[in-house]
Amino acid sequence: MKNLNPCLNGENIIIPALKNILIVDDNKVNRQILNKILSSQYNIIEAENGEVALSILHQNHENISVVLLDIIMPVLNGYELLKRMHEDIFLSKIPTIVTSGQNSEDAEIKALSLGANDYIIKPYKPEIIKQRVSNTIYLRETSAFINLVQNDSLTSTFSKEYFYMCVAETLQSNPQKQYDLICLDIERFKLVNDMYGIKVGDDLLKHVGKTLISIVNEYGICGRIAADEFICLVPHCEEYQNEYFKNITEMINGFSDTIKINLILRYGIYCIEDRSTPINIMCDRANLAKESIKGKYDTYFAYYDDNIRQKLLDEQMIVSDMKNALIENQFKVYFQPKYDLKTQEIVGAEALVRWIHPTKGFMLPSNFIPIFEKNGFITDLDIYVWDQCCQKIRAWIDRGYTSIPISINVSRADIYNPSIVEILISMIQKYKLSPKNLHLEITETAYTENPEQLIEVVLKLKKIGFIIEMDDFGTGYSSLNMLSELPIDVLKLDMRFIKREEKKNNDRSILSFIISLAKWMDLKVIAEGVETEVQVQLLKALNCEYAQGYYYSKPLPQEQFEQHLLKSHIQVVNKNKKECQHFVKNFKDKKNIMLVLDPDSVDFSRLKKDYKYQFFVEHVHRASDAIDFIIELEEKISVLIVSISKYIRPKQMLQILDVCKKINVTVIVLYDKIYDKKNKILNMDIYDYVERPYDLLQLNLRIQNAIAFAKMKKFEYEKEVNSTIIEMRKRAEHDALTGLLNRAEYEVRIDNFFHNNYNPSGIFVILDIDNFKSINDTYGHVVGDKVLYMVAEMIKHIFPETDIIGRIGGDEFSLFIPYTIPFLQLQEKMIHICKPNNLDVNNITISCSAGVCLTPDYGINRKELYKNADIALLLAKRHGKSKFEIFSQGMKLPTPSSLENKSKYLLTMF
């Protein structure tokens, strides 16, 4: 911070960190005397008359601690300056000490009536001056602190702590009166912030607070105890009616035409009976009553009663018993098998936890997992489950079984554990396991809540070798972004997602696309929650690979699961695949394979001789072996030659064709014209048929055509998938009306910029259209949409330097230039974009207001830049239309009342 030199013209004053005193006196000697008395403790600013002082105050009012003011001055005297300060919402908060040579009671009374805090008679007495200034500053700061502590800064209702204190005092002072606590919040409030922006959300909260104060303050008190959660203490009412609460909701719904969401408020009522109960517990009970009706249509309020009390007691029992339950091994790990949809074999299992309570018996996870997630105990339980699974895998290996991978849950709380990676590494080292023995399941909602943290942790686990599964895929809001950013191996499709698809008669496009996309990205797909044969057939038709659910098996205790494995012969996974093992071992590193299915060995010898220089030729005798080889080697097989035999049945051939179609392997059939006329295989949809004994040139041509056809199909498929992905990504990332980035993608790109740049520099701008609501009201939303589109085009034309431009709200836009440009160039662009323009839409002339914030000077991440640019935007709008502000040191968000003030003195670039 630079040092401040006295300045008499009121321009470009830079305020240092010290407390500042403004001395206003036309007599230079008087200013010098006061400067000498106070300069050892304060930073002094001087003004030679009231007009200069007023300019300084408007520029730096937030940094002035006290004003020492002479009464008799030219240009603008002390009385007039006091009057101007008293009328200004900002300046009225600055304490003023009048210094006068008039030892007159009338002069003192007049000064105090105009807002002066103190009156000192000249000549100056240094110690008195110092003490008066010190006391005045102390009183001002103390008053501001008390106001801050008592009131919620956003809504003007009581703060949480002060509300609790007032409730305690009210109950103590009125022992004969009965009171109720009413807790309320706004359902889907997060949706308001997401759709309309934080500013609109804050305005809504202010409106709720103002409405509650107007309703309650005559006979009760109200406070804000969480983001969108308010609570009121009111005299007891014997019976509340739905209409009472609906009327309050309707008053709140009328706050703005901007919000097109029907806001619903839910109320929980706790009738205070036992006054010895802590106030916070009373409020919690009102909150519990409110939570009990979340999502219930046409039910606006609920009382705290015995059912809710019992739920609270049950939760308390769970919390009280949880640690002891872990020590006593009351938690049991169950396993639910995963099946290969093609072979119907078990290929893995998911570990699920159950609680066998000594008195309560079998407890479902839905009864205790949410509680553990809230109190943090879920991490201890997860570690216990992981250890149990590692023990079991180690035991299977020691018994000579071929172990199957176990999927374990990694909760959202685990992601925030800084030791999560070390814990998992130490566990597999303890039991001498490979990371691939454990599949780590994370939920898609964990990505939507904190994508940066999740990506960082998953990348570390992936590098170690763990298999990553994404659980409940299809239920979150950022699936496409997530697939591109997270290094996952397996998608688990949510049961509800599958059921929605099952109900459709013809349209399988979404589920089919997800499965195709997963395969294109080399991800495996597991459908969980499969319950019916219809679902199994649907998944097979869509080429889904694996499934789990009650159709195959419910979750089983460890002993039953092992028996289930033994019955399925999982411990000898390749018992009937020795031939496949031999083939894969010899050909796993080779490509361009010709696979010959020839049960009678009538064609293989010649084919191997004729094509030994073109292909790696391998012979199989059974249709099942051919299927296994194709699945194992996939794209390494160039062509499958099938020599028709009585040992190849039509059903087996259909299975072969189904597998080949899925992985794009072409099939050519060799047949005997005389002996195979009635064979059903000749009527199947096979690429080509060649009569035996084959003509080498003819077969060569057929094989070349078949390989070329397969490559073309693969290219067309990949092209189609790529095109679909590009289109879906474009739709997911861009605003449909303006073609600009939507808010979610805009924020992701800015976050990526800061993540990838160690020394970032750039320019962040927020702007909105002046009086846009009146355009919609006058001309309709069709014209309003045209205006939004034209403004977006104008932004792109004026700022061609960047593609990081987004529509982040109704008529609110934002752009980010990821480098600095000369100040005059920036100023010119901002003047151009804010000035009135005729957009050739119904001859409407529009203008914009804007706020600008520079990085790294006033923000090193998106949230800081947005906050500061929003402050600058609000200040620009205070000056009128067609203005912009560049955020600078000392700017703060105006208070609600300041937004109503008509003062013309604000920082501006013009």
- The dihedral sign for the CA sequence 65, 70, 74, 79: positive
Any domain includes 441: yes
Give the confidence band of 351 by pLDDT, cuts at 50, 70, 90.
very high
- Please give the Cα distance from 810 to 829 (Å, whole number): 23
For the chain, what is the domain count? 5
Q: What is the pLDDT of residue 556?
A: 92
Instruction: For residue 107, give the 3-state DSSP assignment.
Output: helix
**Tokens coding 349:** 């299992």
Q: Backbone dihedral region of 383: left (phi > 0), alpha (psi from -120 to 50 degrees) or beta? A: alpha
Q: Are residues 467 and 535 in the same domain?
A: yes
Percent of the chain with pLDDT over 90: 16
**Tokens coding 24:** 């206003």
Any domain includes 792: yes
CA atoms within 13 A on the CB side of 150: 8
Q: How far is CA 675 from the centre of its chain?
A: 67
- Check whether 257 has a pLDDT greater than 70: no
Q: Are residues 520 and 614 in the same domain?
A: no
C-alpha closest to that of 91 among 114, 118, 120: 114
Any domain includes 730: no
- Please give the Cα distance from 134 to 152 (Å, whole number): 28
CA atoms within 13 A on the CB side of 728: 17
Q: Highest mean pLDDT: which of 74-83, 577-586, 883-892?
A: 74-83
Which tens digit of pLDDT belongs to each residue from 618-654? Answer: 888 888 888 888 887 777 888 899 988 877 888 888 8
Q: What is the pLDDT of residue 234?
A: 92
C-alpha closest to that of 410 among 374, 433, 383, 371: 383
Q: Are residues 710 and 752 in the same domain?
A: no
What DSSP designation does 734 have? B
Q: What is the CA radius of gyration of the chain?
A: 38
200 within 8 A of 256, measured Cβ to Cβ: yes
Give the confidence band of 390 by pLDDT, cuts at 50, 70, 90.
very high
Number of residues that make up the chain: 910
DSSP character string of 45-90: EEESSHHHHHHHHHHHGGGEEEEEEESS-SSS-HHHHHHHHHHSTT
CATH code at 200?
3.30.70.270
Instruction: For residue 263, give the 3-state DSSP assignment.
Output: coil
Any domain includes 249: yes
Q: What is the pLDDT of residue 767?
A: 93
Which tens digit of pLDDT belongs to each residue from 531-555? Answer: 888 888 888 888 888 999 889 889 9
Q: What average pLDDT score do residues 371-385 get?
A: 86
Q: Highest mean pLDDT: which of 394-398, 428-432, 647-651?
A: 428-432
Q: Which helix (H) or strand (E) holds 608?
A: helix 604-611
Residue type for position 321: D
Q: What is the pLDDT of residue 2?
A: 33
Which tens digit of pLDDT belongs to each residue from 767-795? Answer: 999 888 888 888 888 888 999 999 999 99
Residues 6+ apart with CB under 8 A from 10: 47, 52, 53, 55, 56, 59
CA 710 to each of CA 132, 659, 707, 717, 721: distance values in angstroms, whole numbers, following the listed order: 93, 14, 5, 10, 16
Q: Are residues 321 and 448 in the same domain?
A: yes
Which tens digit of pLDDT belongs to each residue from 85-112? Answer: 887 767 887 899 998 887 778 888 888 8
**Tokens coding 600:** 């009678």
Residues 6+ apart with CB under 8 A from 589: none
Per-residue exposure over 336-364, b if at least 16 CB sit within 10 Å of its own CB, e if not: bbbbebbeeebbbbbbbbbbebeeeeebe
Q: What is the pLDDT of residue 12?
A: 43
pTM above 0.85, yes or no: no
DSSP character string of 329-394: T-EEEEEEEEEETTT--EEEEEEEEEEEETTTEEE-HHHHHHHHHHHTTHHHHHHHHHHHHHHHHH
Among the candidates 522, 551, 569, a domain finishes at 569
Pairing mode of beta strands 848-855, 762-769 = antiparallel
Q: Which helix (H) or strand (E) holds 703?
A: helix 696-733
- What's the count of helices (H) and strands (E) in the chain, helices before strands? 32, 32
More confident residue, 196 or 429: 429
Q: How far is CA 556 from the centre of its chain?
A: 35
Q: Are residues 557 and 648 in the same domain?
A: no
- Check whether 583 has a pLDDT greater than 50: no
Any domain includes 93: yes
- Please give the Cα distance from 791 to 849 (Å, whole number): 12
Residues 6+ apart with CB under 8 A from 335: 349, 350, 351, 352, 406, 555, 556, 558, 561
DSSP character string of 119-187: EEESSP-HHHHHHHHHHHHHHHHHHHHHHHHHB-TTT-SBPHHHHHHHHHHHHHH-TT--EEEEEEEEE
Q: Highest mean pLDDT: which of 64-73, 687-696, 714-723?
A: 64-73
Give the confidence band of 474 by pLDDT, cuts at 50, 70, 90.
low
Q: Backbone dihedral region of 227: left (phi > 0), alpha (psi from -120 to 50 degrees) or beta? A: alpha
Residues 6+ apart with CB under 8 A from 374: none
- Check whether 258 has a pLDDT greater than 70: no
**Tokens coding 589:** 């590193």
- Check whether 757 has a pLDDT greater than 60: yes
Q: What is the pLDDT of residue 332?
A: 92
Residue type for position 248: I
CATH code at 706?
3.40.50.2300
CA 163 to each of CA 181, 252, 270, 290: distance values in angstroms, whole numbers, following the listed order: 11, 22, 16, 19
Among the candidates 149, 169, 184, a domain finishes at 149
Any domain includes 361: yes
Any domain includes 145: yes
- Please give the Cα distance from 653 to 685 (Å, whole number): 11
Report the mean per-residue pLDDT for the chain: 81
Q: What order of strands is seen across the sheet that includes strand 848-855? A: 805-807, 812-817, 762-769, 848-855, 884-886
Q: For the chain, how long is the longest CA-to-CA vector?
A: 134
- Check whether 765 has a pLDDT greater than 90: yes
- Check whether 748 has a pLDDT greater than 80: yes
Q: Are residues 689 and 747 in the same domain?
A: no
Which tens digit of pLDDT belongs to each residue from 476-528? Answer: 444 556 676 778 888 888 666 656 555 554 445 667 777 877 777 778 889 88
Q: SS3 breakdown of the chain: % helix, strand, coil, rounded to 5?
A: 50, 20, 30
- Please give the Cα distance from 902 to 517 (Å, whole number): 58
Backbone angles phi, psi at 638, to 5 degrees: -85, -35
Q: What is the pLDDT of residue 407?
A: 92
18 within 8 A of 27, measured Cβ to Cβ: no
Q: Are residues 807 and 836 in the same domain?
A: yes
The alpha helices in 467-577, defined as continuous H runs, are 479-485, 495-503, 509-520, 533-541, 558-567
**Tokens coding 339:** 């099946």
Which tens digit of pLDDT belongs to each residue from 551-582? Answer: 988 999 988 888 887 776 444 444 444 444 54
Q: Are residues 432 and 477 in the same domain?
A: yes
C-alpha closest to that of 91 among 44, 48, 56, 120: 56
Q: Are residues 803 and 683 in the same domain?
A: no
Residue carrying the six token digits 């090193």: 860
- Check whether 815 has a pLDDT greater than 90: yes
Percent of the chain with pLDDT over 70: 84
Q: What is the pLDDT of residue 501?
A: 56
Which tens digit of pLDDT belongs to each residue from 714-742? Answer: 767 666 666 665 666 677 788 888 889 88
- The dihedral sign for the CA sequence 713, 718, 720, 721: positive
Q: Are residues 445 and 384 in the same domain?
A: yes
More confident residue, 832 or 624: 832
Any domain includes 510: yes
Residue carrying the six token digits 């498929």: 717
- Please give the Cα distance from 22 to 14 (Å, whole number): 13
Q: Are residues 587 and 560 in the same domain?
A: no
Give the confidence band of 893 by pLDDT, cuts at 50, 70, 90.
low
Q: What is the pLDDT of residue 723?
A: 64
Among the candidates 505, 537, 569, a domain finishes at 569
Residues 6+ apart with CB under 8 A from 780: none
CA atoms within 13 A on the CB side of 181: 33
C-alpha closest to that of 381 among 353, 358, 361: 353
Domain that holds residue 795: 743-900
C-alpha closest to that of 493 among 521, 524, 455: 524
- Please give the Cα distance from 154 to 209 (Å, whole number): 9
Q: Are residues 546 and 498 in the same domain?
A: yes
